[in-house]
Structure 1
């Protein structure tokens, strides 16, 4: 059982890097590869349109080449006691080395310049399928890895299709045979597992020999996801919560049947407690209320000069109470938290504190009704009943009217003075957004005597230098900017604070963050070099890491939304 879990983890991790071939001009949803993917797959992730891999690698080469210097990888390569680990480490090292020369990487791996690929499960069986432009080069690379590691393959055949099989774990260690299988058919390389518990038909599907009876291509699942969430057709992923729940409570889908077979072999049934009529009804109802987690691209631009992507992940829900509660709790995020052009790093928490307790109480009340009959769920419900969030109202009373808090490191410089690091420049800002920030400040003063002498008035900033130890070399000021109380340092901090004067409070999100990795790491690397300390290999070149990112958490009509994006240049 442990060996099977390890094998699945290895294959799933390896599927993170897609290898595909050129298929420009086709409709992403009329893709023949989808005929081999079952409609009830619990997990699906695919690059449905050709991805400009060569341009992407060239645009990111300067930023990713440093990854080849990995001490953990070096240890894995040197571990002669684990041929399988050395085999995988060799392939990963070949990939990392190839990042320095994208043309050589594509040639060595047999890749296309415009690839597509797929990762999904046949029940519990993970499958990665990838198109290759030069299968001979791909096999030659595996031969190199075998020679280096001593991890040898055997040859198997299913329905006339030959494949390489790599035995995982110690032979004869238990009754379960587990093999990592690799096959190539019509320009498509398939990687999956073969175990003594599965039948030949499953392997045929995994290797692309025979199509599945209920393909996802015969449904509108992918098209519906794209339309509902506004994704591009290029890349779509999802986790099907309903199929996962069906598998454990009724066992009547492909995953469920596989789990039942595994349980029978193990001699104990961990699902017995939830395969009652009550649990089936209640757990299926919960899954129907939270059917899927979906993810996809909303923008994509890749050329040899720049790569930029925006992605969105949505936890779909039909629970109107939860959606309404999250909507009510949305607070204010200043614009400086979401623009990586303006800061080294910035983040903000948008939260309407006055709505926190009542919104959570509504969610809590919804979770308490009706009284559940499924024993594990009833026990969980009983535990939740002791955590009534109405008490939060007392704790948040002092912060009533607060809509959000945010902070930004706008710019900084470090230097070495007398062998000690010193902050040479600090432009930073902290802001509290509220309906009446001055009133909140005056309410807090009695509980913080150090603030007792400060009078906060609009248009009059208060110097806080006396509150900061002189060895820090930092000065700061406190002031009001419209509905925002600010603490800032440096000219950059003051400029950002002043810009807040024109920003009116609005419910625009729950969390926002942005960062510029190059500006973040530059002063730190300069400090390390000036100190005479040896720069660790894994940090070497980080000052040239030209990547800007942003993330956000919000809610829309479909459910909680997690957004992320980045821009990377050579």
Structure 2
């Protein structure tokens, strides 16, 4: 495959991965709150949806992936659901300019978000109720969304491009103006374009080699004959899985296989053909030879036999689908992801390995720090693997690469695995829980010491006494611990090495190791809990407790920061991490299991609204400090905020000698939420910071100059402000100077 084609396919699958992971994270963290929970005890029912969407007729039915919905999403509500207000500074490095561009754009987006969801949409010119959609036309990824202020949108794009030193050119294609960005200087004909027409923005990849018909369909200038709306795929997906109409997506492996196997004779095939350069009789270089090798390897899978057999395999697991379930709300949202499995025999074998997960794994999610449970029926595990192995290896394939792989797998018999697992056939699952833990940090060692712990480990088995006796016979340390079949706990000697009181016991069909009061109560309940094959995997995370634990570990006086002096940038990063940890709240329960639909993962997030900081009046005079190495605060000037003349202020920087002010500037200031904005008016300075020389005359700034910062740790005594700068964020600490009245009172 030629280099341009490989580049495009690589970018395509990179975007597919980002779409799948990013969108599911988006749906988890930012659930749509326009749908209220159904007022009934029964499961929410899928509602008939009349599409309210401008882009669906532009999406081919055979798109390789789809992320979006049947309805517009309220992006302001979506962003409001995120309670973490972190800053982000685009990292500086040797990344390609295009990557640096997206990093800069992300930095601008996150920092604008600090002033609130409405602000970020306003400053990016993005419409609140938005039909944002991500899909492919042929093999080219396309992102569409709605804007309501083109000037602001282009300002953000061009600012990020300037920061990344990414060149672009203005171009007009089929009557619409675009900014065109080169992906690779060595391939100038393959570009990323960004354009807006009638409030509809598009971002996609374009090649000069595409013919006019291909460009017209890619850019939405020509209708798509078989579009996704008319195919019914979207309504079928939402109805089947009960997804919110505005939040779902999928990756279609069958269409991806059609492209790679050259079974697609439509637009994807035309794009590939147009990207391939003409045949040359010249001696190819090493790079060309490598590309030809890849092409030959792909061609081995493009024979009629491979097309038929591989397509048949893919049809058994055609898609990964995911979305927010109906009934989700800001306090409780559920994201469901399904790997569709159509082969009932394979699904039956996989389902047979499901084991036992105790109730405490999910029932104590709001109390425990973390819980985890793996349900696995070891008696069925080896037979299931053997059955799957046999089904793959028993019949020869006509497709040569598949047949070679089959013969290789056939030599790896699972018989040895069956023998190894025979002694553990009574095991049905392994679970653990950390109900609570306190750590003591040592300034000498970065590894903390466990001060107190409340935790347990559970091995579920149909024959607990026999399994333990067998393990004890092979391990002298276990042999010293005698477990009473009646369930009475036995002390574990090596618990003293950890500084905790550790006990072991047999409770019902479980071997347990535990310490702590809450864990002891959970262990007592296990005695009456019947072992059933009720799941494959479950876990829970309590963000509020993790916040407390990590905030202690990351506190400014924590020994972990004493290993080496922190740079000012590291100090800001540390403080930002601490700030974000304080925003964490609620808990999350993740479950994965084999069902009739396939391999299903559900992620439930239970949230409590973060407390917004109460603003204080900042009109006062402050000493200002910058951070030095080791997070040491260095006095560097004085600043005065007033409400006079529509919020004016003055900043005076101290000379290096500390004997006088060497620079002054005046500005207008505004505050929006936790963001403070400065628009500078005039400035003056002392030549060479010489305190014996008078200031120059005030000079109006020749060009507009502004700055923005995010307020942190606000109190009556002052505040901190993180300034957003393309060269790297920095922090100024404002400490209020005592007023005359305060001094007299003192």
Partner residue of 1:144?
Answer: 159
SS of alignment partner, residue 326 of structure 1: helix
Are 1:543 and 2:581 matched, yes or no?
yes
Q: Which residue of 116, 119, 136 maps to 1:121?
A: 136
Which position in structure 1 is the counterpart of 2:653? none
Residue 36 (1) aligns with residue 58 (2): yes
What is aligned with 1:319?
343
Q: Does the CA contact (< 8 Å) of 2:554 and 2:578 recur in 1?
A: no
Residue in 2 aligned with 1:292?
A: 319
Q: Aligned partners of 1:517 and 1:441: how far apart in 2? A: 35
Aligned ranges 1:214-363 → 2 under 5 Å: 214-251=226-263, 252-263=265-276, 268=292, 269-270=295-296, 271-299=298-326, 301-302=328-329, 306=330, 308-339=332-363, 340-363=365-388
Per the alignment, residue 74 of structure 1 pairs with 91
Would the alpha carbon gap of residues 455 and 288 (structure 1) be closer, same or farther in structure 2, given more than 3 Å must change?
closer
In 2, are the aligned partners of 1:11 and 1:192 still within 8 Å (CA)?
A: no
- The alignment's TM-score, normalised by the length of structure 2, stands at 0.69
Is 2:595 the partner of 1:556? yes
- Which whole-Å deviations, capped at 9, do the CAs of 1:491-536 have from their partners, x for residues lacking one? 1211222232342212221111111233124223313434354475
Instruction: Answer whether contact 1:28 1:234 (CA < 8 A) is retained.
Output: no
How far residue 352 of structure 1 moved from its aligned partner, in angstroms, is 0.5
What is the CA-CA distance between 1:350 and the residue it aligns to?
A: 0.5
Aligned-partner SS, 1:111: coil
Residue 457 of structure 2 is aligned with which of 410, 416, 430?
A: 430
Contact 2:210 2:275 in 1 (8 A): no
Q: Report the Cα offset of residue 152 of structure 1.
A: 4.1
In the alignment, is the contact (CA less than 8 A) between 2:141 and 2:205 conserved in 1? yes
SS in 1 for 2:539: strand
- Quick check: 2:483–2:505 contact (8 Å CA) kept in 1? no
Residues of 2 paired with 1:480 and 1:458: CA distance? Answer: 7
Higher mean alpha-carbon deviation, 330-339 vs 399-408, is at 330-339
SS in 1 for 2:440: strand
Q: Are the structure 2 counterparts of residues 85 and 566 from structure 1 closer, same or farther at C-alpha, using a change threshold of 3 Å?
A: same
Which residue of the partner structure matches residue 485 of structure 1? 511
- Is the 1:22–1:113 Cα contact (8 Å) retained in structure 2? no
Is 1:49 the equivalent of 2:71?
Answer: yes
2:668 paired residue number: none
Residues 28, 233 of structure 1: 8 Å contact kept: no
Change (3 A) 1:547 1:157: farther
Structure 1 259/338 Cα, relative in aligned 2: closer, same or farther at 3 Å?
farther
Name the CA shift for 1:436/1:243 in 2 (closer, same or farther; >3 Å). same
Which TM-score applies when normalising by structure 1?
A: 0.88
Map 1:362-401; keep pairs closer than 5 Å: 362-401=387-426
1:181 Cα offset (Å): 0.8
Quote the residue 1:458 is aligned against. Answer: 486
Indicate the larger mover: 513-522 or 139-148. 139-148
Output one character per residue of 1:380-433: Cα deviation in whole Å (capped at 9) or x when no partner: 111111222233221111212211111111111123468664322211011111
1:167, 1:362 → 2: CA distance?
51
Partner Cα separation in structure 2 for residue 135 and residue 13 of structure 1: 29
Closer, same or farther: CA 411–92 of 1 in aligned 2, 3 Å: same
CA 1:477/1:361 → structure 2, altered by over 3 Å: closer, same or farther?
Answer: same
Secondary structure in 1 matching 2:81: helix
Distance (Å, rounded) in 2 between the aligned partners of 1:338 and 1:30: 38
Q: Is the 8 A contact 2:317 2:342 kept in 1?
A: yes
1:460 deviation in Å? 0.6
Change (3 A) 1:413 1:241: same
Compare 395-404 and 33-42 and name the one that shifted more: 395-404
Which residues of 2 match residues 162-173 of structure 1 at below 5 A? 162-170=177-185, 173=186
Which residue of the partner structure matches residue 540 of structure 2? Answer: 514
Alpha-carbon distance in structure 1 between the residues aligned to 2:558 and 2:121: 40
Q: Is 1:523 the counterpart of 2:518 in the alignment?
A: no
Q: C-alpha separation between the residues in 2 aligned to 1:275 and 1:57? A: 45
Larger radius of gyration: 2
SS in 1 for 2:193: strand
Q: 1:139-192, CA deviations, whole angstroms, 9 ceiling, x for partnerless residues?
A: 23223334444434322223322222122222xx24x51221111123221110
SS of the aligned residue for 2:411 comes to coil
Q: How far apart, in 2, do the equivalents of 1:322 and 1:363 lie?
A: 7
Alignment partner of 1:444 out of 458, 471, 477: 471
Instruction: State the 1:8 CA deviation.
Output: 4.4
- Please identify, of 312-321 and 37-46, the stretch whose mean Cα deviation from structure 2 is larger: 312-321
Distance 1:366 1:7 in 2: 35
SS in 2 for 1:324: helix
Q: CA deviation at 1:379?
A: 0.8
Structure 1 residues 458 and 325: alpha-carbon distance in aligned structure 2, compared to 1, 3 A threshold: same
The 8 Å contact of residues 22 and 115 in structure 1, kept in 2 or not, is answered as no
- How many angstroms does 1:83 deviate by? 4.7
Counterpart-to-counterpart distance in 2, 1:74 and 1:513: 33
Q: Name whichever of 317-326 and 516-525 sits farther off.
A: 516-525
Q: Deviations for 1:433-461, whole angstroms, at most 9, x for unmatched residues?
A: 12222221122221112222413322311
Distance in 1 (CA, whole Å) between partners of 2:416 and 2:75 is: 54
Q: Contact 1:413/1:424 (CA < 8 Å) preserved in 2?
A: yes
Cα separation, 1, equivalents of 2:314 and 2:15: 27
Deviation at 1:336, TM superposition (A): 2.4
Q: CA deviation at 1:51?
A: 3.0
Paired positions, count: 553
SS of the counterpart of 2:412? coil
Change (3 A) 1:259 1:393: same
More helix by share: 1
Give runs of aligned pairs for residues 85-234 of structure 1, distance below 5 A.
85-102=99-116, 103-170=118-185, 173-174=186-187, 177-234=189-246
Change (3 A) 1:13 1:166: farther
Q: Which is further off, 334-343 or 407-416? A: 334-343
CA spacing shift, 1:467–1:415, aligned 2, 3 Å: closer
SS at match of 1:289: coil
Shift of 1:378: 0.3
Q: Distance in 2 between matches of 1:539 and 1:248?
A: 44
Asked whether the 8 Å contact 1:247–1:259 carries over to 2, the reply is no
